[in-house]
Amino acid sequence: MNPQPLAGKHAVVTGGGRGIGAAIAAELAQAGARLTLMGRNRSSLEARAQQMNAEVHIETCDVTSPDEVKRAFRAAQEALGPITILVNNAGQAESQPFSKTDLGLWQRMLSVNLTGTFLCTQAALPGMLEAGWGRIVNIASTAGLKGYPYVSAYSAAKHGVVGLTRSLALELARQNITVNAVCPGFSETELLEASIARIVQKTGRTPAEARAELARHNPQGRLVEPTEVAQAVLWLCLPGSAALTGQAIAVAGGEVM
C-alpha cells in the first residue's frame, strides 16, 4: 500500500485549528497532503501547524464573509498550488427552544454552517475542475439526518448541508470530483464542552450527568472521538474512493442507520 496516497494534493480544512478539524488535518498530512488550515483564530492555527510534520499554510478567514473567503482561497492557491481537496468543517452550534429562537440565531446558524460551506466550495471548485480531480467533504452532523429538540436552526442548517452535498454530487458526477458529507454524532470536542456547560446551567445537572445524557444517543453508549471522524474523512479523500459520492455517512455508533 502507498504510505502517502495523497502526496502532491493540496487540501484545505476550514475550522482546522482545533477539534475535529485538527484531527482531519493530521490524518490528511499523514497521508502526504499539503495543507492549508483556515479559521478565525490565528494563534490556534499557528499552534496546530507547529505540531504537524507536513507542509502547512495558514489563513485566517471568516467563512461567512464572501470577500474573506475569496481572499483566503486565492492566497492558499498562491502558496501551495491548486486546491484539490476541500473539507468544509467550520461550524457553530447554538441551542434554544424554537419559541425562543430569534432571527439572529437562525441566521447565524445558516451563515456559518450552510452559507460558509457554499462560499468555500465555490471558491475551491474551479481549481478542481481545471485539474480534473477533486474531493469535497462536508462535515455535517447527525442533526442533518434526524431531528433533535432545541436545535432547530442548527438542524435546519445541517440538513441544508446534506442537501447541498447530494445535489452537487450529481452535478459533478462526470467530472471526477466527489462530494460527500460526514455526519458525526456527539463528539469529544470543545463544542461539546460548551454544550455540556449550557445543559448544566439550564438544568442544574452535574457535568457528568449532562455528558451521560449526550452519550445515551449513541447505541454504543459513548461519545465519538475526533480521530474516528477524521479517518472517515480521509477514506473519502483517497483516490480509491471515486465511486463514493453524494453520501451522508453517520459516524455515530449506530444512532442513524
Annotated catalytic residues are 154
Residue 170, phi then psi, degrees to nearest 5 = -70, -40
In the chain, at which residue ranges do the beta strands (DSSP E only) sit?
10-14, 34-39, 56-60, 85-88, 134-139, 177-184, 248-251
Q: How far apart are CA 44 and CA 58, in angstroms?
A: 10
Q: How far apart are CA 96 and CA 103, in angstroms?
A: 12
For the chain, the farthest-separated pair of C-alpha atoms sits apart, in whole angstroms, at 55
Q: How far apart are CA 4 and CA 1, in angstroms?
A: 9
Residue 141, phi then psi, degrees to nearest 5 = 180, 160
Structural contact between residues 91 and 139, judged by C-beta atoms closer than 8 angstroms: yes
86: which strand partners? 12, 136
